[in-house]
Amino acid sequence: MHNHISLVKILIEICILWFVCYGILLFARGTRGVYVLRGIILITLIFIITKQLGFDRINWIFTKIFALSILAFLIIFQQEIRRGLASIGQRRWSRFFLKETEIISEITTACFLLSKKKTGALIAIERETRLENYIESGIEIDAKVNSELLITIFTPNTPLHDGGIVISGERVAASGCLFPLTQNPKVSTTLGTRHRAALGLSEETDAIVVIVSEETGGVSVAIGGRLTHDLDRESLERVLGNLYRPDSKNRK
Amino acid sequence: MNNWIVNNFWIKVVSLILAIITWFYVNEELIKERRMAKQLYKSSAISQVQNPSHGKKPVK
């Protein structure tokens, strides 16, 4: 009986550690912190292995490096850590009350109103891969998604209209964000920078990128490096409805 | 259910490996600490038996 209780305790402890490790890895994914994290994990593993093998001098060196790297990590990524801790309190619990269809409807409405006026737009919707790098390249907004806001952002000759916006969960995280241009040589040369940026981002991440063409007013979607042109309202809603799940995305 | 497992599969595997390694490492460290504490307790008890005045204030 005592053995059974001990075994359950061990399993619970490992599960808690698993959850913490998974949370940290998931949070770091898509941010510049992932490389530092990889380094720290590598140093930690070498530290443990050398300790087990009894290589005292090597172990001493790695102990010092490990202590320094933790300190460096805290200093370099203090902003990310602060944001991560803040998000624990802000995001998770509100996610139970998300209105996914409302957000999709707001995005679709904005896209087709912009399309009517032939105003260009570039909207990246974050899924599993975090888009922190791209959010940091723009201007932080952190506002509730609504069509009026999206239309205002993309209004020509306003300070925020250049670049793309990133929607993270139920919030417009940032605008004026810079996305990487696709390097795919097979991409048609007739495509403009906006479409190329959408393709580039969808190649590097799992984000859904919605594009409104300034020339034709056509609405396209880029997912996984593939572009679907000239969607109508129903098709766009269907695509977003199938792929966009703000309540099941990365902050588990 | 299937989606829950497949979703971020490799991150889940890596984090499980890290969790198990961390658990075993911490467990070993705890065992060492306890062993050391026991040894210290034993040695202090022996010195108490051999020298009962050890650690006590001299009576005037």
* Average pLDDT of the residues in A43-71: 80
- Residue A41 contacts B, CB cutoff 8 Å: yes
Q: Across the interface, do A22 and B20 touch by the CB < 8 Å criterion?
A: no
Stated pTM of the model: 0.55
* Average pLDDT of the residues in A114-134: 87
Residues 85-144 (A) with a CB less than 8 A from some CB of B? 128
- Residue B31 contacts A, CB cutoff 8 Å: no
pLDDT, tens only, A213-236: 988 889 999 988 888 888 888 888
Instruction: Give the list of residues 6+ apart from residue A121 with CB closer than 8 angstroms, or none.
Output: A110, A111, A114, A150, A154, A210, A211, A212
Cα(A46)–Cα(A3) distance, integer angstroms: 32
pLDDT at residue A32 greater than cutoff 70: no
* For chain A, domain boundaries: 2-92, 97-243
Residue B57: the pLDDT is 57
Cα(A180)–Cα(A164) distance, integer angstroms: 11
* Average pLDDT of the residues in B11-29: 88
Which backbone phi and psi does A164 adopt, to 5 degrees?
-115, 170
pLDDT, tens only, A102-116: 888 889 999 999 999
- Residue B30 contacts A, CB cutoff 8 Å: no
CA distance B20 to chain A (A): 6
Give the bridge partners for A228, in sequence order: A221
pLDDT at residue A120 greater than cutoff 60: yes
Domain A97-243 adopts which CATH fold? YojJ-like (1 (3.40.1700)
Q: Across the interface, do A22 and B7 touch by the CB < 8 Å criterion?
A: no
Cα(A202)–Cα(A208) distance, integer angstroms: 7
pLDDT, tens only, A68-99: 877 877 887 777 777 777 766 655 454 544 56
SS3 of A181, please? coil
Residues 2-21 (A) with a CB less than 8 A from some CB of B? 10, 13-15, 17-18, 20-21
Check the CA dihedral A169-A174-A176-A178 and report its sign. Answer: negative
Closest CA to A36 of A84, A68, A14: A68
Outline where A29-55 has alpha helix (H). 33-53
CA atoms within 13 A of residue B40's CA, in its CB half-sphere: 6
Mutation target for A interface from B5, B18, B31: give the one with most A CBs within 10 A.
B18
Instruction: Give the list of residues 6+ apart from residue A41 with CB closer than 8 angstroms, or none.
Output: B18
DSSP at A120: -
Cα(A175)–Cα(A153) distance, integer angstroms: 8
CA distances from A98 to A19, A104, A162, A248 (A): 23, 11, 29, 11
Measure CB to CB from residue B19 to each of A21, A41, A48 and give the nearest one.
A21
Cα(B58)–Cα(B60) distance, integer angstroms: 6
Residue A198: the pLDDT is 92
- Residue B47 contacts A, CB cutoff 8 Å: no
Tell how far CA A146 is from the center of its chain. 20
Between A80 and B41, whose confidence is greater? B41
pLDDT, tens only, A178-198: 998 888 877 887 888 899 999
Check the CA dihedral A90-A92-A93-A99 and report its sign. Answer: positive
Between A148 and A101, whose confidence is greater? A148
Cα(A205)–Cα(A224) distance, integer angstroms: 7
Closest CA to A153 of A199, A196, A106: A106
Environment class of A39 (CB within 10 Å of its CB; exposed 0-12, middle 13-18, buried 19+)? middle
Check the CA dihedral A118-A119-A120-A122 and report its sign. Answer: negative
Whether the ipTM is more than 0.85: the answer is no
